[in-house]
Structures are given as structure tokens and as C-alpha cells.
Amino acid sequence: MLMRGGTSKGAYFLAEDLPTGVEERDDLLLRIMGSPDPRQIDGIGGAHPLTSKVAIVGRSQSADADVDFLFAQVSVQAALVDTTPNCGNILAGVGPFAIERGLVAIRGPETRVRVKTINTGTRAELVVSTPDGAVEYEGEEAIDGVPGTAAAIPINFLDTAGSVCGKLFPTGQRRETVNGVDITCIDNGMPIVVLRASEVGLSGRESCAGIEAATEALAKIEAIRLEAGRRMGLGDVTDAVIPKMFLISAAVNGGSIHTRSLIPRKCHESIGVFAAVSVATACVLPGTVAYPMASPPAGMVKAMNIEHPTGTLLVRLELGGTEDCPSVERGGLIRTARALFDGIVFPRG
């Protein structure tokens, strides 16, 4: 099934329909998506990282989840399938897909689907609209980066801290310096590196095309990413899609902070869900690069509106601890999804 999940698009498969061996599975996914090829002309990929994604879904082996979800980022131009990160946008489609394929029974006007992401072990609860005994895709919820409206899918993340690196602050520091640039390395659903855009000669308000044309700045950012990846315990990240790089600047549209993200070298035209949770977390915890720029609101429940190239994404964070020494207990947001096509794909030979 081809689905839009949030601001991404991908191919959703039942785990039982794919090979169990990693090499055989990845080879098949590359042939299905049409990689490596910059146009993915001989496959169903959309020639962009946001549209070259795969969800593999099956009944969960865990008592605290309904389905297991393995996310795969299929490289457009390289013969690479990366199952290291997770993807909160593609996650948004897992609930509807699981119901459509009979993995989860409809339980009334709303059906809650508990999902375990195999990539990182994190758990989330999705609330899917199911009136009249079927998934309802039409609705009034609008999300920036997607035209029109659709049914809201609230997502509650249950245990995202240290999803890949094992710790919320993988280096043990909230702020450090790499190549003369102050950064924050954080993992609350997605390992990211946060830095002020001004420190690499950018305003942070450039278009994606403008950032991708700034070769000198990109070289500085990539050098920082390689060193940060090592410090975060990720090893040599030259060929990895994590950590993502976040350029931050002061909010310009009434939000909490303004962002541009690199995934890892191409500018994201909106923002990744888990990456948004991670950057929002950096905004509310004292001592990070983002904290003084974001000026988070008072209280232990904080609504952080993260500005990105095509609008904003609202992240809701519930804090524990104290005002002086807070900890993030739970994050949540709203996405939408839509089934686009259901049928048979013919991979190239």
C-alpha cells in the first residue's frame, strides 16, 4: 500500500510478505523503489528522501504493543537501505495500515493502535478515526507541508529519550564546541545536532534551495556532523542518515523557534516528527544552545511551535522534575495520513 504519512510518502508492507534475510530484503526494497537512480524512474520511489521511505509492519511480539514497525530509509542515489533511524511521519500511517490489513480490530469511533518501532525500541500510541467500522481519512485537520485537510491522528510518544544513542544527551553535555561552533547533541526520538545558523554564516531563514547552494556552509556543517556523530557514539556517520543537523534562529512567525534541518545533507522541506520532538526538547531544557533563543513558556506542560520552511509543527511536551531542573516525561503531536494506492508492485529484475 502506498500511503502519505504526515509530510512523507512511502510504501507500506506486511512483514510476512517480505524476505526475512536482511540482504535479500534490502535488495528487494531497492529494486521496488528504483534505487540507485536520481529519478528512481524504474521504481515507485519519488526521487526525494521524503518520498523514498518504507514501512514494514507486523503483529507485535511484545505484550505492550499491537504492531511492530520497522522503518527503512531507501537512499535515492545509493544502493543503501538504512534502518537505523525512525520516522514519525511514516509512523502516522502505520495505524491506518494496520487496521486496513486486519492486524488491529476496529474498537469503535476511535481505534487506538499501540506501535513499537523496531529500529529504536520506542513505543507510541496512535488514535485513528474509525466511524462506521472503517478508517476515516477525510477530516478537518490541516498540517503544514500537506495540501488540504484530513482526519487527525494524535500520536503520543511514550519512551523516546535516548531512542538511538541510549541517552537524552549522548555526549553527557548539553552544550559543547566542535570546530569553534557551539552545538547541542540530543536524542529524544531522533539523534540531532542543534546549532545557531549564524555560526555557519547563514540566517536560518534561507529557502531549502538557498541552503543547498551554500557549499561553504554545508562543508562546515558536514564536518561538525561527522565529529558530533563520533561523540554521540554513532561511529563513522559518513554514510549514515543520522545525526540530522538543525540550524536554529529566532522565531519569525510567532512560533517558539525557527528551523532548517538537513537530512543529513539535503534540506528538509518541512520537518521530521521525531526530529521536531528532539529540537523542541532542546528548547525547553536549560543549558542547551536552543534554550535562550526559544524562551519556552512557564509551566510543566509546554506547547512548542516549531517553525520550518513550509509552516509550523506543534509539539506538546509534559515535563517532570522542577522548573529549575526539568525532565521531559512525554511528547505528543497531531499528524494525518492517507491511503494513496493499494495493489501489486513489480520490482525490476
The residues facing 81 across adjacent strands are 74
Q: Tell me the per-residue pLDDT of 161-170, one tens digit each, with 9 for 90 and over.
A: 888 899 999 9
C-alpha cell at 193: 545536532
Instruction: Answer whether 318's CB lies under 8 Å from 328's CB.
Output: yes
Cα(44)–Cα(338) distance, rounded to whole angstroms? 17
C-alpha cell at 45: 520511489
Supply the Cα-derived Rg of the chain in whole angstroms.
Answer: 19
Q: Which amino acid is at 345?
A: V
Cα(142)–Cα(46) distance, rounded to whole angstroms? 23
Closest CA to 306 of 254, 245, 265: 254
DSSP character at residue 171: T
Mean pLDDT of 258-272: 93
- Name, in order, each residue with C-beta under 8 angstroms of 17's C-beta and a sequence gap of 6 or more: none
Q: Global pTM?
A: 0.78
Indicate the range of 140-154, 281-295, 323-337 predicted with least confidence.
323-337
Q: Tell me the per-residue pLDDT of 36-84, one tens digit each, with 9 for 90 and over.
A: 999 999 999 999 999 999 999 999 989 999 999 999 999 999 999 999 9
Q: Give the mean pLDDT of the chain.
A: 95
pLDDT value for 70:
98
The answer on pLDDT for 282 being more than 80 is yes
Q: Which amino acid is at 124?
A: A
For the chain, give the longest Cα–Cα distance: 60
pLDDT value for 143:
94
Instruction: Answer whether 60's CB lies under 8 Å from 123's CB.
Output: no
- Name, in order, each residue with C-beta under 8 angstroms of 197's C-beta and a sequence gap of 6 or more: 203, 204, 247, 248, 249, 260
14 band by pLDDT with thresholds 50, 70 and 90: very high
| Domains of the chain with CATH codes | 2-159+336-341 (3.10.310.10), 176-327 (3.10.310.10)
pLDDT value for 291:
96
Q: Tell me the per-residue pLDDT of 152-190, one tens digit each, with 9 for 90 and over.
A: 999 999 888 888 899 999 999 999 999 999 999 999 999
C-alpha cell at 333: 503531536
C-alpha cell at 195: 546549532
